[in-house]
Amino acid sequence: MIKTKRIFNLGVLCLAMGVTAVANAKVSPEEAAKIGTELTAMGANPAGNAAGTIPAYTGEIFGAPDWVDYKGTGTYYPNPYPDEEPLFTISGQNYRDFEANLTDGQIAMFQKYPDTFKMPIYPSKRDSRYNDWFHEQVKLNAVNTVLVEGGNGIKYGFGATPFPLPKNGQELIWNHVYAPNPYATSGSLMVAAVFDNGSQSLSTRVEDRYFQVMDPNVSRDSYDDVAAMVLAATTSPAREKGKVVLVHEYSNLTETPRNAWQYLPGTRRVRRAPTISYDFPDGPGGLRTVDDALLFNGATDRYTWKMEPMRELYVPYNNYDMDDPKYSYNDLLTVHHLNPKPMRYELHRCWVVVGELKSGKRHIYAKRRIYMEEDSWHGLLADNYDGQGNLWRTNMRTFQNLYDMPGMGPRIEIYHDLQKGAYLANGLVNEEGGVPKNVDEIWPLSYFTPANLRKLGLR
């Protein structure tokens, strides 16, 4: 096992977000007592909605349910609801009947692609839960976690969801950052850009992730401000093979900004990469920024974060079929957007957080809005606006029960550029043999270091 103090000297890839003054962060023990009693163990409203279209929370599924044939970590997650049919489908012809439950981005997709973009709506589920360790950390975070001065980080947070009873937008965005994820995974992922003329740019990479902040083998007392480390090695196309990127990030980005390195096979040299942050273009076609990854990640200091009223929205949920190997990449990668047939949307209550660019700060997005599903705190939808207030990009993440974590977690990230009529799909696994596997034996300390990049690139 890697020791915490040693990792702290290296840094890590957290994905940090916005905040305010320290004094307002903690809640009282009396308020925290609502978690797991009046509220769910993650801090959500356990009741359904008045219309009966959002059910009450049950949390009755823990891990793979008995009726699915799950082969274990590193394989595909079988669909636990294979026989369900859509209740109805939203299309370019009827979307105005459902605008109250759609985001700006979803409405824009129907308007731009009225003949092809569709949203199959299924019965909503709230039946999966996380493990007791996550639940314990959430309750401890409520009375311990504080915002660092200036808002660009947190202190004393550990595990998932630092602010289960959020008071403002800065705390909300941190809950998205620290929504539950497997603490150590490794696997091959496909990244695909599809342009408006139907042409494609495909690449694969092996990605190793270690989120120390979510490692149950690390004690809360010994955890020392580190969040995670990510190392990604490109394996195709041939011209890109051997490129390796390493990112380290701390929870307090004011005190210790993100560190990143690149190994490029053409030069056979490892170089620090200071541009792997903020709005630097990322991925084929430049269809997303670095801080678009996971719908938002990295330093929060260029935005003022505000909480908006919760909304009932149709969000990607239980999207097992999107990973199913019965769909090839050619099947999925249709022009303008992914094939809507294997998609599934459900009605869920969502927290809404808006980031508005601060005066004097620079970013290609003047405003960004993120919609976070209430039971997990994961952002599932995001809309990004340009300096004239026009919607520019609308993004989403598919969501499913990660049986080996266990609990609901994100899978494919999809970024739609409405100006270019193009999109990027990140994390496809249909032809990779399975989803990234959980790693039991954590990598040695030397693995996530710049010195190791050249060795990996030369393999």
For the segment 446-457, the average pLDDT, to the nearest whole number, is 88
* 184 — pLDDT class (breaks 50, 70, 90): very high
Tell me: pLDDT of 226 over 80: no
Q: What is the pLDDT of residue 85?
A: 98
pLDDT tens for 7-16 read: 322 223 333 3
Does domain 4-45+87-457 fall under CATH 2.50.20.10? My reply is: yes
131-135 contact pairs (CB < 8 A, 24+): 131/62, 131/405, 131/406, 131/407, 133/159, 133/216, 134/42, 134/159, 134/160, 134/180, 134/407, 135/36, 135/41, 135/42
Q: What is the pLDDT of residue 459?
A: 66
Q: What is the pLDDT of residue 250?
A: 84
Tell me: pLDDT of 149 over 90: no
d(CA 450, CA 455) in angstroms, rounded, equals 10
Q: What is the pLDDT of residue 327?
A: 98
Tell me: pLDDT of 355 over 80: yes
Q: How far apart are the first and last CA of the chain?
A: 25
d(CA 372, CA 178) in angstroms, rounded, equals 12
* Domain spans, the chain: 4-45+87-457
d(CA 308, CA 353) in angstroms, rounded, equals 6
Q: What is the pLDDT of residue 26?
A: 81
| DSSP notation for 50-97 | TTSSSPPP---B-SS-TTS----TTS----S-TT---SEEE-TTTGGG
Q: What is the pLDDT of residue 380?
A: 98
Tell me: pLDDT of 297 over 90: yes
pLDDT tens for 71-91 read: 999 999 999 999 999 999 999
Q: How many CA atoms lie within 13 A of 302 on its CB side?
A: 18
- The percent of residues in the chain predicted with pLDDT above 70, rounded, is 94
pLDDT tens for 381-411 read: 999 999 999 999 999 999 999 999 999 999 9
| DSSP notation for 6-61 | HHHTT-----------GGGT---HHHHTTBTTTB-TTS---S--TTSSSPPP---B
Q: What is the pLDDT of residue 116?
A: 98
pLDDT tens for 38-49 read: 999 999 999 999
Which distant-in-sequence residues (6+ apart) come within 8 Å of 51 by Cβ? none
For the segment 124-140, the average pLDDT, to the nearest whole number, is 97
* 151 — pLDDT class (breaks 50, 70, 90): confident
* 2 — pLDDT class (breaks 50, 70, 90): very low
Q: What is the pLDDT of residue 53?
A: 98
For the segment 405-431, the average pLDDT, to the nearest whole number, is 98
For the segment 166-191, the average pLDDT, to the nearest whole number, is 96
Name beta bridge partners: 147: 154
* 25 — pLDDT class (breaks 50, 70, 90): low
Tell me: pLDDT of 60 over 90: yes
Q: What is the pLDDT of residue 402?
A: 98
